[in-house]
Structure 1
């Protein structure tokens, strides 16, 4: 079997997405997804640059292809290259599973668990509104929920006020939802070190599952300082491109959970290595999965096969996103995600319906603080 081409599809539903289809001379195709939101044109261009490195290759040689794509440009990878590789890599695992009539999790060593815990997204302009939405999700069966700092309609990020609101949300949600619902907070790199330290210390009594990305990812040393200021579990990594970028946080135990994004950090091939690195330090994965159903499938198969898993992000349950465009064997029930074990990733793309989802390029929100200075979204 040889790879004959790569097709890239950009589309827009509840958010922008980029899918790739890797084609072979035996008619077996693989489906992959990239996760670099708002930079889809850049990833599309990178895939175009990489295509002639892939055409003619044996799709079963996944590690060899990964190394070739990562290193053939000589310069160390950034997120654009790693996201392009991720989409191709995920599609290659899909091809291999289909060709061998086996689910990808079996190719990765087989199941280590029967199902994977998931968490949903909630939020509101007031703590009471956040609680109301959380109650709805709990009634649906969710066991874990996540929210993030809010900002006003004027797009001004008021850090101290956002922290105070989030502290009150933690107090309210824990007291009203009880001890059995897991509460995750995604600071989304918006907080200053001072704000992050105050926030984490104040919510310790409410037993958070974790606080995600309290600081900017460029500032790994900041996690060393924060680690010494709070006992709250910390999670980070969704913006990282490789195992090398994760290494310091994992090696020095600066985080408690690894937020690897398979659609940014080099796909399943790199993701399993990051998971193995984390396992040597007794750190579990809490995969970043904020986009489409192909990403969800890739994360699910990895999570089913590795030993160190906490939870999987799941903003859309199976069928809630692109239900007519992508068929999946994923099954969600009572807070848990599973699949039926169809060959490959268990996802199929109906290319005839792509026109229903025309792509519209979108930039991420531009947030400023009260003095007009830029802050992360």
Structure 2
């Protein structure tokens, strides 16, 4: 049933892929497609800090639409926000330091400090600004493309809450210590985060999101055993509970670096799409999810974006040839970087369009 608040959708390609339908070409969107590589985004950020943009529905809508306006070939918009709005909603201070990234001035280093974490969370009160941004953006998209909502996954959120930011290259020593030393408390914290994420994702669909992605950005730092205990059950639970309320909402899980977990995620979870990074061959990923009908998303190495049109074309063709043109969403294996150019994004999008259309047509002609 269509939502009378919003215009009829003109491009439903990515939704059809998520449903397993046959499509005429491969859909494409780019993680962090709204960001610092865009001059128009830099203009917005010149006057306000990062979380002010997130908390202002008008500004969040504006920057969400910037890549859609610039690159008509994109097949989805993703609401401009941040995974760390969840810790903020749970009473923890999070700052975004220019040139450094997220910073928690007072991380939760010991289980005794969990008393500072607000739970349960009044989702509507604490995160209404995200829901308002989603509704406004859906209206202003005027049906051009679907709108993606998202959240961080419990383990990734937990790691930020404990480490305090600056995770890349940190070894995750503080967060992993919890998993080894404070098992019961770790599960309790993860359950609190999971409950909050579920309510948040349901609220995004209620507000107008047409597709959801769960980012487990730091799951690749865990061993398979730790992944099975502290990531997998909560990822599975999130999809199950969201689908109980919104059974038709397509959901993507991107557990970066956790290729060893693909088969279990495919077999045990209700995610329609599994995102993968560039450290696994597409054909191998297909084998890992065989028999589950899961759609795959990814997995271009972002470094290719610095190499120019000829290399982007070559790598896109290799990627799509390996994935195939069906049950596949083209994307990078991670997000756009501030030093990337507008041309690199445009080249990637046009390359996916041209190559996937040609390959899909060639396959049809061979079958005929």
TM over 0.5: no
Q: Whose strand proportion is higher, 1 or 2?
A: 1
TM-score by length of 1: 0.43
TM-score by length of 2: 0.44
